[in-house]
């Protein structure tokens, strides 16, 4: 994630702050952070000064998640900046600084935070009402814009002192500036976090996730990089690895991904065809709340029904409707549990056929691209897709059979000369 500072920031140069969205932000180029499926998606941080005080001001800071399908999940957002002068935070509502810093020069009334570069986090749900403001106190979790727009923002209020204002303004003035961040999966993480496997009713081949999609096991005798699901005392092993450790603790697999998405072409009707989608969690250290899946396939313009997932069309380009966002039904399957017997969710999709485009040939019925929680999943190579039996036999044996036929004919003719 990187950020672009809007021109309005120059209006407030006396209080310039460098906002760092600690969860994702880093330097980037525009090409690294461009997502063709969400070209306008961003996170906007808005700093509103609502009043002036004797030595500073009161501001409300709001983080808006304008990304269509990427949400901020637990452990939640954290926001940091560096003051231009010797500012302090006297008090806060709806958030708190992670460290107080050195406030030893203050006697009596002690500031909430005296650090030159403070970091602020959201408060947890259930905090007393006199410490809350609107859109606060969700543990730093912010929903994506398409999935839950009512919860796609988070706010906190702070009273800033020692800002050098000294009430030089006679009339009250309000000021606002924005910082905009766009997401880059390349910068956010070194390796992918999900992969895709494929199967169909017309071919017994199950195409697995590509080997080492998200990493490789160090070696057969070294189990520190993953957890054997058949290991004795599995719960105690996972517990010992997961204490205060935010990193994924994945089940030992050939792909080593925390998440696998399986696309199975299930049934073929005269006017419709049916797919089963299964998402499996191989991460023992994470329950995925408010998960979502984004799938690109040309037949989504004729999706008839999604049986157990919510569905919304994403049309980044208005004349093309080939991208769908799927997510769980609240209180039913909106939480993808950690690895184990309950660590999967599934639904079936019913598509109506378009006779001008529909075919099972050459892998057309498989998705072009899949995202889980905004991360692009590793797809199998197209030449590994399950082929129609007649297509595969024709493709594999026709050249050989042609050669055999020619040689047989030549041998026959030679024998009768």
Q: Looking at the DSSP assignment, which residues form a beta bridge with residue 265?
A: 200, 275
CA dihedral (395, 401, 402, 404) in degrees, to 10, reads 150
What's the pLDDT score for residue 391?
A: 56
What's the pLDDT score for residue 220?
A: 44
In DSSP notation, 190-257 reads: SS-SEEEEEEETTEEEEEPPPTTSS---SBTTB-TTSB-TT-TTHHHHHHHHHTT--S--BBP-SS--
Q: Which of 114-118, 274-278, 319-323, 330-334 has the lowest mean pLDDT?
A: 319-323
* Residue 13 clears pLDDT 90, i.e. is over it: no
* Residue 350 clears pLDDT 50, i.e. is over it: yes
* Residue 347 clears pLDDT 80, i.e. is over it: yes
- 74: its two tokens: 């637990």
Structure confidence at residue 7 as a pLDDT band (50, 70, 90): very low
pLDDT tens-place string over residues 30-77: 445 678 888 889 999 999 999 999 889 999 999 999 999 999 988 899
What's the pLDDT score for residue 275?
A: 97
Question: Cα–Cα–Cα angle for 343, 346, 352, nearest 5°?
Answer: 165
Sequence-distant (6+) residues with CB within 8 A of 147 are 69, 71, 290, 292, 312, 325, 327
* Residue 27 clears pLDDT 70, i.e. is over it: no
Q: Do you find a cis peptide bond into 75, omega within 30 degrees of 0?
A: yes
* Mean pLDDT (the chain, rounded): 82
**Residue 398 to residues 362, 403, 409, 410: CA-CA distances in angstroms?**
16, 9, 16, 18
What's the pLDDT score for residue 221?
A: 44
Structure confidence at residue 176 as a pLDDT band (50, 70, 90): confident
Average pLDDT over residues 138-161: 95
Question: Cα–Cα–Cα angle for 22, 25, 31, nearest 5°?
Answer: 170
pTM (predicted TM-score): 0.77
């Amino acid at each position: 994630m990187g950020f672009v500072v809007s021109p309005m920031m120059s209006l407030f140069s006396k209080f310039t702050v460098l906002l760092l969205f600690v969860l994702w932000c880093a330097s980037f180029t525009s090409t690294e952070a461009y997502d063709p499926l969400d070209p306008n998606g961003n996170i906007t941080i808005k700093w509103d000064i609502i009043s002036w005080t004797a030595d500073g001001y009161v501001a409300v800071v709001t983080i808006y998640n304008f990304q269509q399908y990427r949400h901020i999940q637990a452990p939640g957002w954290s926001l940091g900046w560096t003051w231009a002068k010797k500012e302090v935070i006297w008090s806060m509502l709806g958030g708190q600084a992670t460290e107080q810093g050195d406030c030893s020069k203050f006697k009596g009334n002690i500031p909430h935070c005296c650090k030159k570069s403070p970091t602020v986090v959201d408060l947890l749900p259930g905090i007393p009402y006199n410490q809350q403001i609107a859109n606060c106190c969700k543990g730093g979790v912010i929903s994506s814009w398409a999935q839950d727009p009512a919860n796609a923002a988070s706010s906190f209020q702070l009273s800033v002192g020692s800002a050098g204002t000294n009430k030089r303004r006679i009339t009250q003035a309000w000021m606002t500036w924005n910082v905009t961040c766009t997401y880059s999966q390349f910068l956010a993480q070194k390796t992918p976090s999900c992969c895709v496997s494929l199967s169909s009713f017309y071919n017994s081949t199950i195409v697995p996730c590509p080997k080492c999609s998200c990493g490789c096991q160090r070696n057969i005798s070294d189990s520190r990089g993953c957890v054997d699901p058949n290991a004795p005392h599995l719960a105690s092993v996972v517990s010992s690895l997961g204490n205060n450790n935010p990193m994924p603790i994945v089940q030992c697999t050939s792909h080593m991904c925390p998440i696998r998405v399986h696309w199975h072409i299930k049934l073929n009707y005269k006017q419709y065809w049916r797919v089963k989608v299964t998402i499996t969690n191989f991460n023992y250290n994470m329950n995925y709340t408010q998960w979502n899946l984004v799938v690109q396939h040309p037949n989504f313009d004729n999706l008839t029904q999604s049986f157990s997932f919510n569905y919304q069309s994403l049309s980044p380009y208005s004349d093309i409707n080939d991208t769908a966002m799927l997510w769980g039904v609240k209180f039913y399957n909106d939480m993808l549990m950690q690895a184990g017997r309950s660590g999967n969710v599934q639904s079936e999709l019913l598509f109506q056929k378009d006779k001008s485009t529909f075919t099972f040939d050459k892998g057309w019925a498989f998705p072009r691209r899949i995202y889980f929680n905004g991360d692009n999943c590793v797809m199998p190579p197209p030449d590994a897709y399950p082929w129609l039996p007649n297509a595969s036999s024709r493709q594999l044996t026709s050249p050989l059979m042609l050669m055999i036929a020619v040689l047989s004919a030549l041998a026959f003719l030679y024998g009768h000369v």
